[in-house]
């Protein structure tokens, strides 16, 4: 199975770019991944937030670069600093979830582990300040997202479906200016198949009439397909490494791969 990074440039339909105009172009239909000529209407589209609607991981990466530079000044190799942090995050996210607070604590733990308590005491205040700023940075809505949401909302019910710290996520939704296009905003602790099944029940819809749209193979693609939804994978070049995973073959009947969010209006 191909890795997500290998599929970033791949497309559905035998690896060719989608050609939605004209009568031969298959389109997602409301039933079981059926493909109908012409746009379907009345679907429920679950849409991811971070790195699908707005830039997110680039801001965390900027903090990580600063963390690595600070540790390098203490004699710690940058690659070691990054690998150590990733290992800590891999463990902590399973018990403490996602968001700025857990990221901050992971950075603190990595500093102490690599530099020792004394050196870490000088580094951690800088790390804390950078993490605090993560909650206040300007929202960078990805090009084409807002007009696409406006068009989709005329034909479908849109549900923002995101995971992480609820306060962090709802604050970003509010600051993005995009909340008005959504019928509902769901913030879950983890995106596993059961979370998707619960969302279908909560919104009174079947998987056959629903699609998940997002950039994460691990959170948006694999579990949504397992729960019976169709999936639109829109790769982002800065997707967090812990969200990368193997994908089904691009010819999967309920998987559509697009280059840009704005292409959704050609299909839905």
Averaged confidence pLDDT in the chain: 88
CATH (one of 1.10.150, 1.20.58, 2.40.30, 3.40.1130) for 57-134? 1.10.150
For the chain, the domains span: 4-54+140-266, 57-134
pLDDT at position 176 over 50: yes
Q: Is 129 exposed, middle or buried (0-12, 13-18, 19+ CB in 10 A)?
A: exposed
pLDDT at position 1 over 70: no
> pLDDT at position 15, please?
29
CB within 8 Å of 219: residues ≥ 6 apart: 48, 163, 191, 243
Q: Tell the CATH topology of 4-54+140-266.
A: Rossmann fold (3.40.50)
**The whole model's pTM is what?**
0.85
With bands split at pLDDT 50, 70 and 90, how would you rate the model's confidence at 118?
very high
> pLDDT at position 249, please?
80
CB within 8 Å of 102: residues ≥ 6 apart: 89, 92, 93, 96, 165
**pLDDT (mean) for 227-248:** 94
**pLDDT (mean) for 147-154:** 98
pLDDT at position 107 over 70: yes
Q: Is 244 exposed, middle or buried (0-12, 13-18, 19+ CB in 10 A)?
A: middle
> pLDDT at position 38, please?
55
**pLDDT (mean) for 255-261:** 96
pLDDT at position 166 over 90: yes
Distance CA 238, CA 61 (A): 9
**pLDDT (mean) for 196-213:** 98
Percentage of residues of the chain with pLDDT beyond 90 = 82
* Higher local confidence (pLDDT), 152 or 8: 152
> pLDDT at position 36, please?
37
> CA geometry: angle at 195 spanning 189 and 199, to 5°?
115
Q: Which of 36-50, 133-147, 245-259 has the highest mean pLDDT?
A: 133-147
With bands split at pLDDT 50, 70 and 90, how would you rate the model's confidence at 41?
confident
Q: Are strands 157-163 and 184-188 parallel, antiparallel or unpaired?
A: parallel
Q: Which strand (E) or helix (H) includes residue 200?
A: helix 193-202
With bands split at pLDDT 50, 70 and 90, how would you rate the model's confidence at 197?
very high
**pLDDT (mean) for 46-57:** 98
Closest CA to 63 of 85, 90, 95, 84: 85
> pLDDT at position 225, please?
97
């Amino acid at each position: 199975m191909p890795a997500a990074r290998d599929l970033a440039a791949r497309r559905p339909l035998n690896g060719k770019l989608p050609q939605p105009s004209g009568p031969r172009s298959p389109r997602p239909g409301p039933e079981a991944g059926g493909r109908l000529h012409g746009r379907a209407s009345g679907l429920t589209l679950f849409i991811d937030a971070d790195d699908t609607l707005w830039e997110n991981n680039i801001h965390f990466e900027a903090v990580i670069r600063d963390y690595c530079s600070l540790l390098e000044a203490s004699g710690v190799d940058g690659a070691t600093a990054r690998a150590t942090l990733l290992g800590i995050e891999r463990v902590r996210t399973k018990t403490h979830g996602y968001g700025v607070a857990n990221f901050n604590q992971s950075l603190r733990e990595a500093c102490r582990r690599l530099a020792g308590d004394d050196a870490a005491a000088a580094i951690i205040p800088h790390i804390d300040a950078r993490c605090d700023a993560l909650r206040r940075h300007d929202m960078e809505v990805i090009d084409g997202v807002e007009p696409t949401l406006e068009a989709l909302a005329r034909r479908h019910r849109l549900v923002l479906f995101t995971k992480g710290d609820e306060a962090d996520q709802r604050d970003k939704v509010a600051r993005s200016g995009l909340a008005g296009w959504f019928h509902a905003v769901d913030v879950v602790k983890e995106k596993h198949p059961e979370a998707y099944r619960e969302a279908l029940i909560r919104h009174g819809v079947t998987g056959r009439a629903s699609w998940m749209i997002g950039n994460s193979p691990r959170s948006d693609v694999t579990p949504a397909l397992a729960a019976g939804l169709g999936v639109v994978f829109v790769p982002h070049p800065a997707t967090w490494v812990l969200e990368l995973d193997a994908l089904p073959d691009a010819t999967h009947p309920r998987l559509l791969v697009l280059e840009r969010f704005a292409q959704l209006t050609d299909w839905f």
